[in-house]
Structure 1
Amino acid sequence: MGERGISIYVHVPFCTRKCLYCSFPSAPMGKGDQEAYLEGLSKEMGSWSRQLRRPRVHTIYFGGGTPSKLSPGGWERLMGDLGQSFDLSGVREITFEANPESLGVDLLKCWTEVSPGPLRVSLGVQSFLDRELRRLGRVHTASDAVRASEMVLRAGIPLSVDLMFRLPGQSLRDFSYSLKMAVGLGVDHLSAYELTVEEGTPFGDMDLELPPDGYGFYRYLQWYLGRRGFVQYEVSNFARPGAFRVHNLRYWLGGDFLGLGPGAWSCIGEARYGNHPSLGGWLRLVEASGRGTCCGEILEGARRRAERAILALRTSFGWAPEGRDDPLACRLEPLMGDLVALQGGRYVLTPRGFRVANLIWEILLP
């Protein structure tokens, strides 16, 4: 990824209600929250713009939370403020996350009109089975997910769908059904994630009956999508040829990115910054200093090299060592053949390597 400029991630912290597994910074929108949030974003954009001298933007990603909870008027203001603070003339990709229950024709029309570059929609489906959606605490139904997917595709907008596996009571047949539904609808990109039960979430306090591990689901995912013409270009991401998501590759292959909004993270050069996770805390910091940053660190030495290697190995493009005697390459040597391969001077994970990637990361950590 040799393109100059930064990528921007904007966190929209609103949702209809928290899902049972969700640990992301998000909450239902209260009275006046949208206006306060947009005002805070405008100030934060201005602060970063002055420091970075109105940089050229490569890609933009709106995540959440649920970005589709903002009104069309809110989006017009947000995109106008982005254009004032940053150079959007060379944007290669702009992605909006959405949930099926809050996505409508008017919002799609608005996104199309305000987008400064090629538009993508990422739909948080998670499952096409109603019983699984209820177990997850999702607001939408399977029919809502089909309706929203068809709406996006009819508008001629490339669609990515998020699915989850290793859910409570889920069988491989259940997961296969959701995969087949997504592919059958005509998506060109699919992200699939194993359920992680985290402390502080409702699931974290429950005695859940989960499948023993996600290995079988993941192996089936690789097999099925490969047969349907999808390429695995990252641990959790699959796309039809030519449909890789450029924004995500910027994260994994070392590009600078700026995070705006509550809970967003930035990585610029060797510095990493984190914003306050709550709307109120973030707004107070923005009012006081112009941005919502509450923590930061400098990535140096062995830790920086290991993190860059791990992120690059998440992708099918792999990682290039720093010379013949790179100590990280030496750690990968015992895994060659079965889990790791060498292609054009770059180390890449094999399909089986992707299935046990967490174990490989542990080997590389300093």
Structure 2
Amino acid sequence: MVEVRREDWEAGGFGLYVHWPFCQAKCPYCDFNSHVARSIDQGRWARAYEAEIARAGHEVPGRVLRSIFLGGGTPSLMEPETVEAVIGAARGAWGFSNDIEITMEANPTSVEAGRFRGYRAAGVNRLSLGVQALNDRDLQRLGRLHSAEEAAAAFGIARDTFERVSLDLIYARQGQTPEAWEAELREALGLAAGHLSLYQLTIEEGTAFGDRFAAGKLRDLPDEDRAADLWDITQRLTEAAGLPAYEVSNHAAPGQESRHNLVYWQGGDWVGVGPGAHGRLTLGGVRTGVETERAPGRWLQMVEQGGTGESARERLSEVEAAEERLMMGLRLADGVEMGRLGALPELAGRAEALTGMGLVSHEDGRLRTTAAGRPLLNAVLRELLA
């Protein structure tokens, strides 16, 4: 009997990420590749996505697709027919797993909420709703176009329409006290979403918030002590509600974890399609990073001229691939298999030192951050990859 060698990427599976680059407005904290456009020819974009997905299907044929993620930008500005075309192209390129997860990011404005049923009919079975805050004052500060009332209405429609719904919130906002965050998080948990993505506000260069911060105009952000208090509240309340953190910023009831994001964190392969999308493919046994053209008009033109929307490819060395597996895998509460990190020979000794400090554990062949180490993940990684 011939033994079939399992490639490393199969530990995480295979997914498809589709980037929709358009928004109604640019949020001041956002550093994603998003653009405001007066008009969008949805038919042209659907055909371009179909062409790029078909091309990828020829390059990596015979795989089983575990997940599709429609991200952005604001994918809920896509027409349901465009979404249906994307999903149909993916079905033509690869086989679907029996329990494939097809996620769309959405904003809870009333116009988009009215489209939810069309997206479900197109094949979307999971919605990630970008609420970000549950009060109007902070929604306005974050540059959001919806109200708290609209968010609640959109969530109700989403919960009635899709099999699974995730709710996104940003905390550690300007002037936010631990008491205010605890009340807001309890309200979010009361909505009965099976998955919560809870991100601490980060100030990124090149954003409107970044410019305000540099000019000293973004005041009353939490200091380290208050940020630590907010983190502790987040872990305590989600754990008590049955939605423990399975990843640094993501919390879910058992079985409600994001399968697509697990492809990333578990070191799987994924195709990235659309302006600014990134992919990871194992080609000829070599982990390969793929980047696409960021400018929407240029990307569309490149694809329509019969070429590719890609802008660069990079073959990762075994060390680089192992470092990436470590950085992504340690985000998970379940950690990463040490057997997949053999290209990092000094890792075991460094991990032993951090184990003695109570920041990581090494049990059952897996390396994990502890409850004390998880909020210090960046510092832990710096020590492990020194």
Bin the TM-score by the shorter chain. Answer: over 0.9
1:320 corresponds in structure 2 to 337
Higher mean C-alpha displacement, 31-40 vs 230-239: 31-40
Give the secondary-structure state (helix, strand or coil) at the position aligned to 1:20: coil
Q: In 2, Cα distance between the equivalents of 1:249 and 1:178?
A: 27
Q: In 2, Cα distance between the equivalents of 1:113 and 1:58?
A: 19
Structure 1 gap ranges (5+): none
Q: How big is the shift at 1:139?
A: 0.7
Q: How big is the shift at 1:143?
A: 0.9
1:256 corresponds in structure 2 to 269
Q: In 2, Cα distance between the equivalents of 1:4 and 1:341?
A: 22
1:191 corresponds in structure 2 to 197
Amino acid at match of 2:279: S
Q: Deviations over 1:205-254 (max 9, x none)?
A: 11211111332211211111111111211111110122111111111111
Q: Does residue 113 of structure 1 match 2:121?
A: yes
2:184 corresponds in structure 1 to 178
Q: In 2, Cα distance between the equivalents of 1:97 and 1:243?
A: 16
Match of 1:232 among 242, 245, 249: 245
Q: Deviations over 1:52-101 (max 9, x none)?
A: 23643111111111111112232233333333333336452111111101
Higher mean C-alpha displacement, 316-325 vs 235-244: 316-325
Q: In 2, Cα distance between the equivalents of 1:27 and 1:328?
A: 42
2:373 corresponds in structure 1 to 353
Q: Does residue 211 of structure 1 match 2:222?
A: yes
Q: In 2, Cα distance between the equivalents of 1:50 and 1:359?
A: 41
Q: Deviations over 1:154-194 (max 9, x none)?
A: 23532111111121222222322321121111111101111
Amino acid at match of 1:275: T
Matched residues, number: 364
Where in structure 2 are the equivalents of 1:57-76 lying within 5 Å?
A: 57-76=65-84
- Give the % identical residues: 36
Q: In 2, Cα distance between the equivalents of 1:45 and 1:159?
A: 26
2:257 corresponds in structure 1 to 244
Q: Could you state the TM-score of these two structures normalised by the residue count of structure 2? A: 0.88
Cα distance change of structure 1 residues 237 and 285 upon mapping to structure 2, 3 Å threshold: same
2:6 corresponds in structure 1 to none
Q: Is the 8 A contact 2:196 2:251 kept in 1?
A: yes
RMSD of the TM alignment (CA)? 2.2
Match of 1:343 among 356, 359, 363: 363
Amino acid at match of 2:47: E
Q: Could you state the TM-score of these two structures normalised by the residue count of structure 1? A: 0.92
Match of 2:310 among 271, 289, 293: 293
Q: How big is the shift at 1:141?
A: 1.0
Q: Is the 8 A contact 2:42 2:82 kept in 1?
A: yes
Q: How big is the shift at 1:20?
A: 0.6
Q: Is the 8 A contact 1:47 1:290 kept in 2?
A: no
Q: In 1, Cα distance between the equivalents of 2:245 and 2:126?
A: 19
Q: In 2, Cα distance between the equivalents of 1:328 and 1:157?
A: 41
1:86 corresponds in structure 2 to 94
Q: Does residue 13 of structure 1 match 2:15?
A: no
Q: In 2, Cα distance between the equivalents of 1:230 and 1:5?
A: 24
Q: Does residue 330 of structure 1 match 2:338?
A: no
Match of 2:291 among 274, 277, 287: 274
Q: Does residue 310 of structure 1 match 2:318?
A: no
Structure 2 gap ranges (5+): 1-8
1:124 corresponds in structure 2 to 130
